[in-house]
Amino acid sequence: MKKLVLFCSSIVLLYLVAFLSCSRPETNKLKEGDIVFQTSTTQQAPLITAATHSQWSHCGIIIEKADGLYVLEAISTVSLTPYQQWVDRGRGKRVGVKRYTEEPVKIKFSKYLGKPYDLAFKFDNGKWYCSELVYDIYKRQLGVELCEPRPVSDYNLYGMEKQLSKRGISKDQLVVAPSDLYDSQRLK
């Protein structure tokens, strides 16, 4: 019981720190290739934040178009979402931003659009989850491995065994979580 109370207290403290330390970045400072993070309002968001001990459960990449900023993201399918709509959809409208380089970056995204979401969090299966999409684009297009994929067993999986099994997620399969990207030493 003490472990459960300590765990819940840690989660509440984490969210409080996140709330106080995050803001909405000015859109005029964002540029193509920036990685944006949020806490989504999906059913799996609390599982992701608990497993990773992070406030971030979702991420995407900024795309600049003539009519404004968009976020390339993996949701039900890989989609381009207008930036403000993406911000508004997140819990508390808080956004984290990380950047790899100050040099201009052009993301080739059309081949990803419409691809299905990957509930099993597996690499190279023609489906995408949010952080896999970001990781893959940086690795394949820019030759940059933002972080090292980790086995699922590296995360806090307490009480999640049933959900993992239901989705066909193996504890030894490699994944990249939004928190792994956010914590990457290659991003600032």
Domain of 174: which CATH number?
3.90.1720.10
**High-pLDDT (> 90) share of the chain, %:** 81
In a domain, 9, yes or no: no
In a domain, 135, yes or no: yes
pLDDT for residue 50 is more than 80: yes
In a domain, 152, yes or no: yes
What's the average model confidence in pLDDT over 46-51?
94
- If phi over 0 gives left and psi between -120 and 50 gives alpha, with beta otherwise, what is residue 156? beta
8 Å CB contact between 59 and 181: yes
Structural domain for 98, as ranges? 23-182
**High-pLDDT (> 70) share of the chain, %:** 86
What's the average model confidence in pLDDT over 110-138?
96
What are the pLDDT digits (tens) for 87-97? 999 999 999 99
Confidence of residue 159 (pLDDT cuts 50, 70, 90): confident
Contacts of 145 (CB under 8 A, 6+ apart): 135, 138, 139
Coil/strand/helix, residue 155: coil
pLDDT for residue 22 is more than 50: no
In a domain, 14, yes or no: no
pLDDT for residue 5 is more than 60: no
Domain count, the chain: 1
In a domain, 144, yes or no: yes
In a domain, 134, yes or no: yes
What's the average model confidence in pLDDT over 156-169?
91
pLDDT score for 7: 41
In a domain, 122, yes or no: yes
Burial of 86 (0-12, 13-18, 19+ CB in 10 A): buried
In a domain, 8, yes or no: no
Question: What is this structure's pTM?
Answer: 0.85
Backbone angles phi, psi at 129, to 5 degrees: -110, 165
Please state, rounded to an integer, the average pLDDT across all residues of the chain.
Answer: 88
pLDDT score for 25: 55
How many angstroms separate the CA atoms of 117 and 133, rounded?
A: 10
Contacts of 2 (CB under 8 A, 6+ apart): none
pLDDT for residue 81 is more than 60: yes
